[in-house]
Amino acid sequence: MTDRRQFLKTCALASAGLALPAPTLAAATAAAAAPAPTALSTWSIIGPKEGFSPLVGTLASMLEFTRTLVLRSARDLTMAQLDHLSDAKANSIGALLLHLSAAESFYQANTFDNRKWGDFPPDLEKRLGDAMSLGDRGRKSIKGHELQFYVDQLNESRARTLAGLKQRDDAWLLGVDDSFVWGPTNNYCKWFHVAEHESNHNGQIKYLKQRLPGAKGDGE
Amino acid sequence: MTDRRQFLKTCALASAGLALPAPTLAAATAAAAAPAPTALSTWSIIGPKEGFSPLVGTLASMLEFTRTLVLRSARDLTMAQLDHLSDAKANSIGALLLHLSAAESFYQANTFDNRKWGDFPPDLEKRLGDAMSLGDRGRKSIKGHELQFYVDQLNESRARTLAGLKQRDDAWLLGVDDSFVWGPTNNYCKWFHVAEHESNHNGQIKYLKQRLPGAKGDGE
């Protein structure tokens, strides 16, 4: 029996344990990295979401979690702050935000449209290649936008992701791409990477934000 | 029916779809954020792992994925590089590595031992409080170690995590802590956070690494 078959079979067996009460923990103060409570009441529940296959919905909840943290970091930044370059090597916070939208779009092309990595439609390369590449290309072309521009781009690519995920099932999510550059890689891994990639750059966004001209507070 | 019950029920139903062939994608080149292929042949498969309940094993594979990226970033750094402070606000790369081990240990205390966040055993606070806090406390006390020290600390806390997770089931993972500081938060979310928190600081580690004295290359 394959791992995947075993996985879903065990999944079914595990349902027998659900009458057990969930452990109740109490927590008085925040973790160092903990965000403040938010209006999104379900943001800190990782699990199935209505309208998605169960594992796919679980992935969607992860994408929501890390996106929530990114948007919290970017909140209230001005155009000058979004354009600021901390040194000659740095990417602006605006470029990092657009990079997240670009990465998500390239993974859509790879996993939804079965495009080989590096063999993407020219219009996608043209539209988002600078943001995907960052560095000199990003520094040259990504500037002069208000925060809402980046939020709109992020929302637009996320809407396409969620629409694509809704049409796919858990077997697709666990499906393995044997020829991916990382070695055998399943769609769950590629999309988990999209989520944790937002955290990776959110760490940089927070670092840069605390060093913007006039910023106060200790480093992250 | 609760979401959790629905989740596992749907999980069972989904097994019917498993006879479908997994989509085969081809990929020629790496994503911007893509690591090089690794000897860990399963590192880029997110899914169940032998010895774990299926969803718990899926989480364990996420922890392995982000940890692999962190260790790759830290590889070959010298003590001087691990201790380097890029500015007065900065954390050293060494302190960030120990912070990851500390965060994991505090989440063990919270989720395995049911300790309230902020009400931890004094020996844990004493041993890892500086690493958890970072900032001045970390800058003062975390220095003078070779990379192996940090790797050992990371391995030690990870071994305790995996041992704890092996003893727990999927119902536990989905169990909700209604009094957590983020609002209702399940164990899946807390441990997903431990994984993506590594990515958050890995983004910073890569940023700092590219700005070490003598470092070459463009920024991240």
Residue in this structure with the two tokens 């791992």, named with its chain if needed: A3
> Pairing between strand A185-186 and B176-177?
unpaired
Average pLDDT taken over every residue of chain A: 84
Q: What is the dihedral sign for C-alpha B77, B83, B86, B89?
A: positive
In angstroms, the CA A90 to CA A82 distance is 12
pLDDT tens per residue, range B150-167: 999 999 999 999 999 999
What amino acid occupies position B31?
A
Share of chain B above pLDDT 70, in %: 80
> Can you give the C-alpha Rg of chain A in angstroms?
19
Interchain contact, B28 vs A106, CB within 8 Å: no
Interchain contact, A37 vs B187, CB within 8 Å: no
What confidence score (pLDDT) does residue A219 get? 53
pLDDT higher than 90, residue A25: no
pLDDT tens per residue, range A46-84: 999 999 999 999 999 999 999 999 999 999 999 999 999
B124 near A CB under 8 A: no
What confidence score (pLDDT) does residue A216 get? 74
What confidence score (pLDDT) does residue B41 get? 54
Which residue in B95, B94, B100, B101 sits closest to B74, CA to CA?
Answer: B94
Contacts of B177 in chain A (CB under 8 A): 22-27
The nearest CA of chain A is from the CA of B25 a distance in Å of: 5
Contacts of B37 in chain A (CB under 8 A): 181-183
A5 near B CB under 8 A: yes
Tokens representing residue A42 in the block: 């379900």
3-state secondary structure of A5: helix
A118: left (phi over 0), alpha (psi -120 to 50) or beta: left
In angstroms, the CA B199 to CA A81 distance is 24
Which of A41, A45, A170 to substitute to test the interface with B, most B CBs within 10 Å? A45
What confidence score (pLDDT) does residue A217 get? 63
Which of A207, A210, A211, A212 to substitute to test the interface with B, most B CBs within 10 Å? A207
Residues with Cβ within 8 Å of A204's Cβ and at least 6 positions away in sequence, in order, are A91, A96, B203, B204, B207, B220
Average pLDDT score over residue span A184-195: 97
Contacts of B116 in chain A (CB under 8 A): 25-28
The pTM score is 0.83
What confidence score (pLDDT) does residue A218 get? 57
Residues with Cβ within 8 Å of A212's Cβ and at least 6 positions away in sequence, in order, are A81, A84
What confidence score (pLDDT) does residue A215 get? 86
Average pLDDT score over residue span B165-174: 98
Average pLDDT taken over every residue of chain B: 84
Partnered with residue A186 across adjacent β-strands are A176
What confidence score (pLDDT) does residue A42 get? 81
pLDDT higher than 60, residue A22: no
Average pLDDT score over residue span A158-170: 98
Which residue in A137, A175, A145 sits closest to A7, CA to CA?
Answer: A175
In angstroms, the CA A205 to CA A200 distance is 9
What is the SS3 assignment for chain B? CCHHHHHHHHHHHHHHHHHCCCCCCECCCCCCCCCCCCCCCCCCCCCCCCCCCHHHHHHHHHHHHHHHHHHHHHCCCCHHHHHCCCCCCCCCHHHHHHHHHHHHHHHHHHHCCCCCCCCCCHHHHHHHHHHHHCHHHHHHHCCCCCHHHHHHHHHHHHHHHHHHHHCCCHHHHHCEECECCCCCEEHHHHHHHHHHHHHHHHHHHHHHHCCCCCCCCCCC
Interchain contact, A181 vs B103, CB within 8 Å: no
Which of B2, B9, B11 to substitute to test the interface with A, most A CBs within 10 Å? B11
What confidence score (pLDDT) does residue B212 get? 96
pLDDT higher than 70, residue B199: yes
Average pLDDT score over residue span B184-210: 98
- Measured between its terminal Cα atoms, the distance across chain A in Å is 46
3-state secondary structure of A91: coil
pLDDT tens per residue, range B181-194: 999 999 999 999 99
Contacts of B55 in chain A (CB under 8 A): 11, 14
Average pLDDT score over residue span B48-57: 95
In angstroms, the CA B76 to CA B82 distance is 10
What confidence score (pLDDT) does residue A39 get? 39
Residues A10 and B18: beta-carbon distance below 8 Å: no
Interchain contact, A177 vs B210, CB within 8 Å: no
The nearest CA of chain A is from the CA of B28 a distance in Å of: 6
> Can you give the C-alpha Rg of chain B in angstroms?
19
Q: Which of B132, B181, B210 sits opposite A89 (nearest CB)?
A: B210
pLDDT tens per residue, range B55-84: 999 999 999 999 999 999 999 999 999 999
Interchain contact, A44 vs B182, CB within 8 Å: yes
What confidence score (pLDDT) does residue B215 get? 86
What confidence score (pLDDT) does residue A37 get? 38
Which residue in B53, B186, B166, B163 sits closest to B105, CA to CA?
Answer: B163
Contacts of A209 in chain B (CB under 8 A): none
Alpha-carbon separation of residue B81 from B68, B106, B145, B210 (angstroms): 20, 27, 10, 11
Residues with Cβ within 8 Å of B154's Cβ and at least 6 positions away in sequence, in order, are B67, B70, B71, B97, B100, B101
Give long-range contacts, CB 8 A cutoff, 24+ apart: A149-155: A150/A74, A150/A82, A150/A94, A150/A97, A150/A98, A150/A101, A151/A71, A151/A74, A153/A97, A153/A98, A153/A101, A154/A67, A154/A70, A154/A71, A154/A97, A154/A100, A154/A101
